[in-house]
């Protein structure tokens, strides 16, 4: 075999071994030990179908200078994402800025699936990550939105305004279109990053505009983000 072909095969093998299969991005501060425990659980979770050589990247907030600590192992990497400062101090603006930072990292790393979750949801373990990652990893959709369990008088803003508005404007029958937690493909992350917008991020709206498939998954865990009414 020619040397050039051997080098090409070696390069392909190295790229496959270092490929990121799953990026888990957390939109708030969470204990580093809990973060690493979550990523280790993802690596061991057989239901996700991750390759033995696949890598899981766990991402938490990091400042512009990259001062957040970065830890790396063979199949696990903890990496900061950059948040563009927002003049809007409202909770949804801050969450959207973090979501965009995670998706920008996903556009760079090109994982097979990216899961964006709140710090509160991350502390609850692997259930939400597993549910939101599975349909994206399986190629069923580009965006996986959660359906949280809600009480009779909960989520009224979503039920009365957000859901019917999304359905009327974008023809998407998504029960909870504005969520802190969602799963996404690298293709979706690239589209969001290319827009250079810093406004409120509606994953379902972006997916509809880009003609991408949106899926929904039931979570047994209530929404953890402190967004009253939604």
Q: What is the pLDDT of residues 69-106, one digit of tens each?
A: 455 566 888 888 988 876 666 777 888 899 999 999 99
Q: DSSP letters of 159-204?
A: IIIIHHHHHHHH----S--S-S-EEE-HHHHHHHHHH---S---HH
What distances in angstroms separate CA 19 from CA 26, 53, 184, one per listed residue? 20, 8, 17
Domain ranges (residues) in the chain? 3-151+179-218
CATH number of 3-151+179-218: 3.90.550.10
Contacts with 39 (C-beta within 8 Å, 6 or more apart), sequence order:
24, 56, 57, 58, 76, 78
In whole angstroms, give the CA distance from residue 226 to residue 230.
Answer: 9
In whole angstroms, give the CA distance from residue 26 to residue 127.
Answer: 15
Q: How confident is the model at residue 135 (pLDDT cuts 50, 70, 90)?
A: very high
Name the pTM for this structure: 0.82
Q: What is the pLDDT of residues 171-219, one digit of tens each?
A: 888 888 888 899 999 999 999 999 877 778 889 999 999 999 999 999 9
């Amino acid at each position: 075999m020619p040397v050039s072909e051997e080098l090409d095969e070696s390069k392909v093998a190295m790229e496959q071994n270092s490929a990121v299969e799953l990026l888990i991005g957390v939109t708030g501060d969470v204990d580093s030990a809990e973060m690493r425990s979550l990523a280790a659980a993802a690596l061991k979770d057989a239901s996700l179908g991750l390759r033995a050589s696949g890598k899981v990247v766990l991402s938490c907030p990091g400042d512009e200078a990259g001062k957040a600590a970065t830890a790396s192992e063979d199949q696990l990497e903890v990496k900061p994402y950059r948040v563009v400062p927002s003049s809007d101090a409202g909770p949804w603006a801050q969450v959207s800025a973090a979501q965009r930072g995670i998706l920008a990292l996903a556009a760079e790393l090109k994982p097979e699936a990216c899961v964006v979750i709140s710090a509160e949801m991350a502390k609850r373990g692997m259930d939400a990550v597993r549910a939101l990652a599975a349909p994206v990893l399986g190629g069923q959709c580009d965006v996986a939105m959660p359906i949280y369990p809600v009480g009779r008088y909960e989520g009224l803003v979503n039920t009365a305004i957000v859901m019917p508005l999304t359905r009327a404007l974008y023809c998407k029958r998504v029960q909870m279109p504005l969520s802190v937690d969602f799963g996404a493909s690298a293709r979706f992350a690239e589209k969001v990053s290319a827009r250079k917008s810093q406004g409120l991020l509606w994953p379902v709206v972006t997916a509809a505009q880009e003609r991408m498939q949106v899926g929904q998954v039931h979570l047994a865990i209530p929404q953890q983000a402190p967004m009253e009414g939604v």
